[in-house]
Amino acid sequence: PELELVKELSRQQMYDKKIFQVIYNSIAAAEHAVNRINGFEYPPGHPIILEFSSTPISISSAVDPIANKISKDIEVLSSTVTKALAVIKNASNLTSASLCLADDYSSPLAPKRGNEKVLLPSSDNSFRLFFVCKPIIPPMRLLEDTFKMFKGLRNINVIDGKNYGYVTYDNLESATRAINCLND
């Protein structure tokens, strides 16, 4: 109990023995582990030797690789949230007339192709929009806030483990406004 981190240390000519650094969140928990596990043989004939570290280290230095990955993920998420908030702010400042884009507008990600119908109603008269978030999906609360701006939102579906999903609107106007505002 109270185990915080187990980290394998690099081998330093230790006769091919593995050395791990184990961090507990209290001294009492560490003492308990040493008393219970030190000398235990697993597999039989291979004793586990535990001792307190002679050099105090901070948890932050021990979890540095983990912290780096988390900080990168937070940076990406922060960027995505910032972009979403900018879209929301811009959309809230727009009037319904300004949401209509010129006929010659074509997005580099989704160009218009002649007489193609952009949206087709589903069997229950709803309009479904598919979306892709790069590099990761923002929190569901942000997706809801973003897609609710366009009125008539029925539901949001995100595919588990993927960076895409779809939203369903009650009417064509709301779905079209969402495409025009959110499509890069």
Chain segment 23-55, per-residue pLDDT in tens:
888 888 888 888 888 888 877 877 888 877 765
**Which position has the token pair 């219970």?**
36
pLDDT, greater one: 83 or 98? 83
Q: How many domains does the chain have?
A: 2
Mean pLDDT of 140-166: 88
Residue 99's pLDDT band (boundaries 50, 70, 90)?
very low
Q: Which amino acid is at 57?
A: I
Q: Are residues 138 and 48 in the same domain?
A: no
Return mean pLDDT, the chain.
Answer: 73
pTM of the complete model beyond 0.85: no
In a domain, 61, yes or no: no
Residue 68's pLDDT band (boundaries 50, 70, 90)?
low
CATH number of the domain bearing residue 102 = 3.30.70
In a domain, 65, yes or no: no
Residue 123's pLDDT band (boundaries 50, 70, 90)?
low
Q: Are residues 98 and 18 in the same domain?
A: no
Identify the pLDDT of residue 112.
46
Q: Are residues 25 and 89 in the same domain?
A: no
**Omega before residue 135 within 30° of 0, cis:** yes
Q: Are residues 87 and 165 in the same domain?
A: yes
Residues 122 and 128: beta-carbon distance below 8 Å: yes
In a domain, 62, yes or no: no
Domain that residue 133 falls in: 70-110+118-182
Q: What is the Cα–Cα distance from 139 to 127, expressed in whole angstroms?
A: 23
Q: What is the Cα–Cα distance from 92 to 107, expressed in whole angstroms?
A: 21
Structure tokens, 115:
């007489």
In a domain, 127, yes or no: yes
In a domain, 63, yes or no: no
Among 31-35, 40-44, 100-104, 162-166, the minimum mean pLDDT is found in 100-104
Q: Are residues 161 and 74 in the same domain?
A: yes
pLDDT, greater one: 164 or 74? 164
